[in-house]
Structure 1
Amino acid sequence: MNFTVSHKDGSARTGRLALSSGTLHTPVFMPVGTMGAVKAMSPRELREVGAEIILCNTYHLYLRPGEDTIAEAGGLHEFIRWDGPILTDSGGFQVYSLSPLRKIGQDGVTFKSHTDGSTHFIGPRESMRIQRALGADIAMAFDECTPYPSSYEYTLKSLELTTKWAEICLRAATKPQTLFAIVQGGVYKDLRLQSAAQLRDLNFGGYAVGGVSVGEPKEIMHEIIGYMASELPDDKPRYLMGVGFPEDILAAVEAGFDMFDCVIPTRTARHGTLLTTHGRVAIRNSQFRRDHTPLDPECGCYTCRNFTRSYLNHLFRAREILGIRLNTIHNLYFYLDFMKKIRAAIEQDRFNSFKKDWLSEYRGI
C-alpha cells in the first residue's frame, strides 16, 4: 500500500491510495457488498457508476458460503469477478449487531449465527485467518463495537480489549494485505483519544473510527468526527466507518477523513427513496404517476438519461425488479459523483463554499 496526500484545503484533503488491485482517489465512498454483491448491481455496472473499491463482510462470508469455498475459487476477487480493490471488515460489528446472545471473552466472541442458530467463535486470530483466505486488499482489525449507551467503565474495558486484539491482528497480518486499526471509545472523548494514541503506536497501514452511528444523537457523532481525524496519522488513510448521509460525509471530509461506506444509497433505493441534487424523492408516491420528466435533470446516470419519474414510479408500484435496479444505479451514481465533486472542490481550494452551496440546495434525507 502507498498513500499520498495530494492537496489540502483546510483540513479537507485529496489523495491517492495505491493498492495491489488498483488505485483509489480520496475522499472515496465504498459501496457495500455485504455478501460479495452490491445489491442489484453487477461488477460492470459498479464500474460504470464510478466505483473504485467495494466493501465486503467477513462475518457474512464466513457463514455463507464459507472462506474455504472462496479461497478455492482463487479469493474474493475471482469469486465475485470484481477486479478493483476490496476492503473486508473484521466481523466485529456484525457480531455486535446480529448476535444479541454473544459472549465476549479475552480471546474473542462466541455467538449464534443469525441464519440458523449454530454456535461459532471469532477472535482476532480467526478474523485475520478468514480475511486472509478472502484475499481482500484491506483487512480490518477485529474489535468490539461498543454499544450505545454504555457506561464509562464498560467502554474502558471494551477499548482495552480492542487494543489487545489489534496487537494480535497486527502480528497475524500478511502482505500484500494492508491492515487498518479501528479506534473505539464510545462517546467519551478521553477514551477515544486514548484508543487513538495506543493504536498510533502500533503503526498500522491505516486507521478507522468505529462505534459511531450506532444510535447516538447526531450532534454527538459530529462532535466525535470533529476531533478524531486530527488524532490519526496525517500520512495514513483515515476511514470513518458506517457513516454515509451526504451531510455527514461533508462534515467528515471537512475534518480530514478520507474513506466512507454505508448502505444508505442501496437500501433507500430498494425502498423507493432516490437522492437528487435538490433532496430526496419518494418515487413510490402517486404525485409522480404522470411526471414525465427525468428524475434529476442534472444527473448523468443511466437511469436519469433514459427514464422518467413516471416510469420509475410504475416499476416500483408494480414491484418490478428493474425498478430496484434503476433506483440503485441512480443512488450509487449520485454518491460517487458527489465524492468526485468534493475532490474537485478541495483541489480548487473552494471546499467551504462548495459545502455551503451544496447543503443549501439539498434538503437532506
Structure 2
Amino acid sequence: MARVPWMLAALALVVGVLLDLFAPQPYTGLPLLAAAPLVAGATLSFRSALAVVCVTCVVSVAVDIERRRPATPLFVDLAVVGVIGVLALAVNRLIVRQGHDLALARDVAEAVQRAVLPDPPREVGPLTVAAGYTAAQAEAQIGGDFFAVQETPFGVRMIIGDVRGKGMAAVAAVSVAIGAFRQEAEYAPTLVTLAQRMDEAMARAADRSDPVISTEGFATAVLAEAAADGEVLRLVNCGHPPPYLVHDGQCVRLDPTSPQLPLGVGLGDVAPAGPVPVDVVRLPPGASLLLVTDGVTEARDKRGIFYDPVASGRMRRQFKDPDALVDALTKDVGRWTEGDREDDMAILVVSRRRAPRAA
C-alpha cells in the first residue's frame, strides 16, 4: 500500500509527458503534469512531495524544450506547475498538522477513558476476570458504557452499565456511577442497598448539573455479588440487558425475576412497595458469568435481526479462560453485523476457577 501514492504520482507524470509529446495540437499533458504534485502532496511525506514537485518542474521544462516551444509558453507551463506544487506542499503540511491534532485528541480521549474506566483486576477472590470495550466508531475511544469489579467485605462485587446519551455528559455520568460504586460497594450490606445508594448519588449529580444535560444522568446496570468461595452469585438488574451463564457448552440467559428501574431516576427517597428480589445463581467451577451492554444485544445483521448469544453456535463451546470468551463474543458480534456497529459494546466476564488458587 505504501507504493500506491508513488505509483499514482509517477503514472500522472508519465502520461502527462506522453500527451505532451504525442498529443495533437493544441492538446498538452500539462493538467496531468500538474496532477503529479497534487497526488504527492496529499499522500506522501513533505520531502517526497518536494522531490516530486522539483522533478515535475524539470520535466515540464524539458518537454517544452523538446517540443521547441517559445520562451513564453515554457515559462507559463513552469509557473503553472510551480504554483500547483507550492499549493500541494501547503496541503501536505495541513494534512500532517491535522493528523497530529487527531492523534493527540485520540490519545487524550484514551487517557480519559482509562482514567474513568480502568481495566479490572485479572484475578479477584475466587474469580478470574476479563473485559472488553469496542467503540461504535474506530476513531472514538470513549463512551457511556462502563464496568467495574471490586473485592469487598461482602464478597466480590461487580457492575456493568450503560449511561443514557453520548459525549462528555455521558462521560461525566460514568465517572459518577463508577465513583459511587467504588465507594458504596465497601459499605452497603446488600446489593439492593448498593443500588439505592448509587441511584441517590447519580440523581444528586444530575440535579446539580446543567438542566440541558441533566437528563443524561441515569444508567441501566446489572449489579452482581459473588460469595467468598465463588459458588453463589446474587444479581440485581436495573433495566439492563440480562447477563448469561456460560458453562459446559451452554449459554443460558439469566432473566431477572423483577427488573428494577435504571439508576439515577431518583428512587432512593421512595420506599419500595415490597422487598426487592435478588436473583441467586449457582456458579459451578469453570463456569462464567457474561455481562454485556446493549451494543451486543441490539447488534443487527443486514436483515435487521438482533444478535442473540444463546442462539449463536459459537457461544456453545468450552472456553479456556475469560479472555477467550470475550474475544469469541467480540468476533461473533462483528461477524453478525459485518463490522457495521451502531453502538458501543462493553463485555465483562468473570469465571470461577476450577481449583482453588495456590497460596
TM category, shorter: under 0.3
Higher relative contact order (CA 8 A, sep 6+): 1
Could you state the TM-score of these two structures normalised by the residue count of structure 2? 0.25
Q: Quick check: which has more Rg, 1 or 2? A: 2
